[in-house]
């Protein structure tokens, strides 16, 4: 038999949440692919020193690592690696263990060092031979070193990828801290200057500003004009005159003015506290390494796992001619990119900032970064820029309505939409409690369901969960289509902005189809998908789904701790999601589930029998290691018969006393409390896009609207693009109506990875249900089984 290929994994540079997920995925995928995985402790230091710092790993060694913060294999600066002698020692240490493939998770500096190491490898081998350390025959299998990089960085500062491992976890820590600070700031009517990490990259500061509704931000890529002092003071003064009691300014540690001079938190504090100016009671909070700490959020766990799996495949497929690659995420897809090109593009940003070419620096960031910057400027300076106002005749009256169950980000979307409307001179109007409130309570006294927004109140909604204007599952047809049409005419709405899940999508299709009968419905309508189930056709992402996954992962971490403490126990967790297995599958990826049951695949007795056998074998081999608890996730509609409770009882019965099982049902807790930063930021960006789309139509354009498919649309994220799709296209081509979900889903392939990394062996896949005439004929014996 040929010797197994040996792959080493190491973490380097600054730690970031999710690095342990990378190591776990690489170790288990390597074993699955028939390789021997090794880990190098203490980064490049361990590579140079060798010995017991390079260790072989087994499957069970990485159990429970997904929920751990930092990096469990350590990271350390290593000056010796900068010298050739250090790199020679590193090469010798790898060869002594039979390793010729290396996966490195770190920042751009760590990855640059890895590429240089690979380029030097042939000469290092020659030197080892010349020194008599090894013979040519011994070195023959190790003539080439294959390296694959993954980016672990909280700054999200590597070009060519939408996100780096750890960035959303760090953003989550920042937003959590700002949310806490806001409470005390409001109590004392204080101003807070909050410094966050980001020497050459303002991603954390900008996204935190968008997510928390901060008053002002400073980022390295886009310094303010020379009058930044006057600009900041005028915005803060405007907010205070409106009645706002708190002021939040977020500053990146690398913030500069247009001449390259550093702007410090102390400078900003002195300006806000100046008795001759605003005279605000001002404090500085530097968050520091709190941003790096803690366990990874659901998105970073998903990213770390998928990229780790891809890294193992890439290193096995690499040839001596293959350029060193880095694993990135673009358009919801895990991709391989040339490492040094990504590093060079990243360094261009720092050089552009240094040379004060700030337009180039912004241009080198992705389109979402620039768009979020414009979104932030628009929402923080509401009604201040008179140049944005439209002529009177082009201003519209736009109704805001939430339909379906609450989802994280709904309020942030409403806030952003209202801010844009006010900046343009439109009249945004809230329709409280969905179509049910519209139809039956629009004229209630003293407060009806239809009323104008109070910006001072709405401005505080950025971080609020649920739906402040209420929401309801009732469809227009149930409320009475004629009633709805008459009310739209009565209140003279020029457009409708609908936020919600599958019911909201269904409502838009009903309103569109009713246009022939009710001319007042010939107004532009757009839907912003918001549901924890992520089952709205026309988009790969719905607001609220990220918040839901964070809540589910946190719940499962606690349950798994309980299961681990008692060692031989399985918890069967029921997830929400309707007839879409998105939440269960991504949740399983984030918590390392032993099995996931989804509506798309179904559940059968044979499948359960296979899983029971597997669990028995797993627990039989368990010699008392910690973290031995197991989780199984089942979607609430995966089966009409096999519920979480029943499966837990079957497991308990079939275990015959060898292990325990319990069920856990987080229920509506999955809708979340405070929305995640990702949901908040995307809500702002997408809501503004929606209002911009609606305002293209203007007022009294009934005939144009009736014949334009783009007048009734769903906004969606498809790949890296934000697109509007006509509802006619979505309902006819993309919707699985009986199952209330899209016909195709980008995440379906992730279930195989959950099974592989959970160690689940092959199982009997449930048969598809027969329906209609075919089912009747088979039952009657007319057709064969």
CA dihedral 411, 415, 416, 421 (to 10 degrees): 140
Alpha carbon 164 to chain centroid distance?
A: 11
Per-residue model confidence (pLDDT) at position 628: 60
The pLDDT tens digits for 607-659 are: 999 999 999 988 888 765 545 679 999 999 999 999 999 999 999 999 888 88
In DSSP terms, which residues pair with 101 in a beta bridge?
A: 7, 146
Query: Are 157 and 14 contacting, i.e. CB atoms less than 8 angstroms apart?
Result: no
Mean pLDDT of 462-483: 95
Q: Which residues are annotated as a binding site for ATP?
A: 14, 77-78, 107-110
d(CA 566, CA 579): 33
Instruction: Report angle CA 751, 753, 756 to the nearest 5 degrees.
Output: 115
Token pair listed for 126: 């020659």
Instruction: Return the exposure string of 366-392: e unless at least 16 CB atoms fall within 10 Å of the residue's CB, then b.
Output: bebbeebbebbbbbbbbeeeeeeeeee
Residue for token digits 């709805």? 484
pLDDT category at 735 given cuts 50, 70, 90 is very high
**Average pLDDT taken over every residue of the chain:** 92
Q: Is 46 a residue whose pLDDT tops 90?
A: yes
Whether a cis peptide bond, with omega within 30° of 0, leads into 446 is: yes
65 contacts: CB under 8 Å, gap ≥ 6: 20, 21, 23, 24, 72
Per-residue model confidence (pLDDT) at position 775: 77
Higher pLDDT, 160 or 505: 505
Q: Is 320 a residue whose pLDDT tops 90?
A: no
Per-residue model confidence (pLDDT) at position 50: 95
Query: Are 6 and 26 contacting, i.e. CB atoms less than 8 angstroms apart?
Result: no
The crossing angle, in degrees rounded to 10, of helices 203-212 and 367-380 is 40
Transcribe 559-627 into DSSP letters.
Answer: HHHHHHHTSSEEEEEEE--TT--HHHHHHHHHHT-SEEE-TTT---HHHHHHHHHHHHHHHHH--S-S-
Instruction: Select from 743, 692, 686, 740 the least CA-distant residue to 715.
Output: 686
Alpha carbon 594 to chain centroid distance?
A: 23
Transcribe 59-128 into DSSP letters.
Answer: GGGGTTGGG--S-TT-----SGGGSHHHHHHHHHHHHHTT--EEEEEE-HHHHHHHHHHHHHHHHHHHHH
Q: Which residues are annotated as a binding site for substrate?
A: 153-155, 190, 197-199, 253, 283, 289-292
Q: Is 767 a residue whose pLDDT tops 50?
A: yes
Transcribe 650-665 into DSSP letters.
Answer: HHHHHHTTSSEEEEE-
Per-residue model confidence (pLDDT) at position 3: 65
The pLDDT tens digits for 120-171 are: 999 999 999 999 998 999 999 999 999 999 999 999 998 888 899 999 999 9
d(CA 716, CA 507): 17
Instruction: Return the exposure string of 547-571: e unless at least 16 CB atoms fall within 10 Å of the residue's CB, then b.
Output: bbbbbbbbbbbebbeebbeebbbbb
Per-residue model confidence (pLDDT) at position 226: 78
d(CA 286, CA 270): 16
d(CA 670, CA 666): 6
d(CA 60, CA 444): 63
SS3 content of the chain, % helix, strand, coil (to 5): 50, 15, 35
Q: Which residues are annotated as a binding site for Mg(2+)?
A: 108
What's the DSSP call for residue 734? Answer: I
pLDDT category at 237 given cuts 50, 70, 90 is very high
In three-state secondary structure terms, 445 is coil
Instruction: Select from 403, 410, 407, 458 the least CA-distant residue to 431.
Output: 403
Mean pLDDT of 439-461: 93
In three-state secondary structure terms, 31 is helix
d(CA 63, CA 567): 13
d(CA 448, CA 470): 13
Q: Is 309 a residue whose pLDDT tops 90?
A: yes
In angstroms, the Cα distances linking 153 to 163, 164, 169, 171, 679 are 9, 6, 10, 12, 21
d(CA 304, CA 309): 9
Instruction: Return the exposure string of 651-686: e unless at least 16 CB atoms fall within 10 Å of the residue's CB, then b.
Output: bbebbeeebbbbbbbbeeebbbebbbbbbbbbbbbb
Say how many C-beta atoms besides its own lie within 10 A of residue 212's C-beta.
Answer: 25
Token pair listed for 530: 């918001």
d(CA 29, CA 5): 13
d(CA 579, CA 421): 36
Query: Are 475 and 434 contacting, i.e. CB atoms less than 8 angstroms apart?
Result: no
The crossing angle, in degrees rounded to 10, of helices 677-695 and 203-212 is 70
Of 31-35, 446-450, 566-570, minimum mean pLDDT range? 566-570
Alpha carbon 298 to chain centroid distance?
A: 7
Query: Are 389 and 424 contacting, i.e. CB atoms less than 8 angstroms apart?
Result: yes
Do strands 54-56 and 36-40 pair parallel, antiparallel, or not at all (unpaired)? antiparallel
The pLDDT tens digits for 649-698 are: 999 999 888 888 999 999 999 998 899 999 999 999 999 999 999 999 99
Of 301-305, 356-360, 511-515, minimum mean pLDDT range? 356-360
Query: Are 36 and 5 contacting, i.e. CB atoms less than 8 angstroms apart?
Result: yes
The pLDDT tens digits for 8-21 are: 999 999 999 999 99
Q: Is 566 a residue whose pLDDT tops 70?
A: no
Residue 654 backbone phi and psi in degrees, to 5: -75, -15
Q: Measure the N-to-C terminal CA separation of the chain; round to a whole number of Å.
A: 45
Transcribe 201-242 into DSSP letters.
Answer: --HHHHHHHHHHT-SEEE-SSS---TTHHHHHHHHHHHHHHH
Residue for token digits 């080198």? 364
Instruction: Select from 355, 318, 325, 362 the least CA-distant residue to 341.
Output: 325
Say how many C-beta atoms besides its own lie within 10 A of residue 336's C-beta.
Answer: 18
Across 488-554, the runs of DSSP E, i.e. the strands, are 495-500, 525-529
| Residues recognised as catalytic | 155
Mean pLDDT of 108-113: 88
Q: Which residues are annotated as a binding site?
A: 14, 77-78, 107-110, 153-155, 190, 197-199, 253, 283, 289-292, 473, 531-535, 569, 576-578, 636, 662, 668-671, 740
Per-residue model confidence (pLDDT) at position 1: 40
d(CA 758, CA 611): 12
């Amino acid at each position: 038999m040929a010797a197994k290929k040996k792959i080493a994994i190491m973490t380097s540079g600054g730690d970031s949440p999710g690095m342990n997920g990378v190591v776990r995925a690489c170790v288990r995928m390597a074993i699955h692919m028939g390789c021997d995985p090794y880990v190098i402790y203490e980064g490049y230091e361990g590579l140079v020193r060798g010995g017991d710092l390079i260790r072989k790993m087994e499957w069970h060694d990485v159990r429970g690592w997904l929920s751990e913060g930092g990096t469990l294999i350590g990271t350390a600066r290593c000056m010796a690696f900068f010298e050739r002698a250090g790199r020679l020692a590193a090469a010798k240490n790898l060869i002594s263990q039979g390793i010729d493939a290396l996966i490195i998770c770190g920042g751009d500096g760590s990855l640059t060092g890895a590429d240089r190491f690979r380029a030097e490898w042939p000469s290092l081998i020659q030197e080892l031979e010349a020194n008599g350390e090894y013979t040519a025959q011994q070195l023959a299998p190790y003539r080439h070193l294959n390296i694959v990089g993954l980016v672990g960085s909280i700054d999200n500062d590597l070009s060519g990828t939408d996100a780096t491992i750890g960035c959303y976890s760090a953003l989550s820590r920042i937003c959590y801290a700002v949310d806490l600070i806001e409470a005390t700031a409001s109590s004392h009517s204080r101003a807070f200057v909050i410094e966050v990490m980001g020497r050459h990259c303002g991603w954390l500061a900008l996204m935190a500003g968008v997510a928390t509704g901060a008053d002002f931000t400073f980022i390295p890529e886009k310094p303010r004009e020379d009058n930044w002092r006057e600009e900041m003071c005028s915005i803060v003064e405007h907010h205070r005159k409106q009645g706002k009691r708190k002021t939040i300014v977020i500053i990146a540690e690398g913030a500069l003015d247009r001449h390259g001079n550093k702007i410090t938190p102390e400078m900003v504090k002195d300006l806000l506290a100046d008795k001759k100016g605003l005279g605000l009671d001002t404090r500085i909070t530097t968050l520091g390494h709190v941003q790096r700490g803690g366990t990874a959020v659901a998105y970073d766990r998903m990213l770390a796992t998928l990229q780790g799996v891809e890294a193992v495949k890439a290193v096995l497929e690499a040839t001596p001619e293959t350029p060193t690659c880095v694993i990135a995420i673009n358009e919801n897809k895990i991709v391989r990119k040339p490492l040094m090109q990504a590093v060079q593009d990243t360094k261009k940003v720092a050089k552009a900032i240094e040379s004060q070419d700030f337009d180039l620096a912004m241009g080198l960031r992705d389109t979402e970064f620039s768009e979020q910057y414009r979104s932030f400027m628009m929402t923080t300076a509401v009604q201040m820029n008179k140049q944005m106002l439209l002529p009177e005749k082009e201003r519209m009256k736009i109704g805001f309505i939430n339909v379906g169950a609450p989802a994280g980000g709904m309020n942030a979307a409403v806030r952003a939409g209202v801010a844009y409307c006010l900046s343009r001179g439109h009249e945004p109007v809230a329709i409280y409690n969905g179509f049910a409130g519209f139809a039956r309570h629009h004229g209630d006294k003293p407060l009806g369901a239809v009323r104008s927004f109070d910006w001072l109140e709405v401005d505080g909604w950025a971080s609020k969960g649920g739906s402040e204007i209420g929401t309801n599952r009732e469809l227009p047809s149930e409320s009475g289509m004629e009633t709805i049409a008459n009310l739209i005419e009565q209140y003279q709405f020029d457009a409708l902005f609908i936020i919600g899940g599958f019911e909201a999508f269904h409502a838009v299709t009903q309103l569109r189809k009713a246009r022939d009968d009710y001319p007042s419905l010939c107004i532009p309508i757009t839907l912003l998908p918001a549901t924890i189930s992520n089952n709205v056709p026309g988009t790969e992402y719905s607001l609220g789904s990220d918040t839901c996954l964070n809540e589910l992962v946190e719940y499962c971490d606690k349950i798994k701790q309980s299961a681990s403490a008692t060692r031989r126990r399985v918890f069967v967790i029921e997830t929400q999601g309707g007839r879409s297995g998105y939440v269960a599958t991504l949740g399983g990826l984030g918590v390392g589930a032993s099995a996931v049951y989804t509506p798309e695949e179904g559940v059968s007795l044979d499948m359960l029998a296979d899983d029971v056998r597997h669990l028995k074998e797993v627990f039989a081999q368990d010699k008392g290691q910690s973290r031995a608890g197991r989780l199984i996730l089942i979607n609430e509609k995966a089966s009409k018969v096999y519920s979480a409770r029943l499966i837990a009882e079957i497991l308990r019965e079939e275990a015959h006393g060898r292990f325990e099982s319990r069920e856990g049902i987080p229920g509506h807790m999955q809708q979340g409390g405070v929305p995640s930063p990702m949901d908040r930021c995307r809500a702002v960006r997408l809501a503004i896009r929606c209002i911009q789309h609606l305002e293209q139509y203007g007022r009294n354009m009934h005939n144009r609207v009736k014949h334009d498919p783009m007048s009734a649309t769903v906004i969606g994220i498809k790949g890296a693009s934000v697109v509007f799709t006509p509802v006619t296209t979505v309902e006819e081509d993309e919707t699985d109506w009986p199952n209330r979900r899209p016909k195709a889903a980008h995440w379906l392939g992730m279930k195989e990875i959950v099974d592989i990394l959970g160690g689940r062996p092959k199982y009997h896949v449930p048969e598809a249900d027969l329906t209609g005439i075919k089912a009747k004929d088979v039952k009657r014996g007319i057709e064969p089984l």
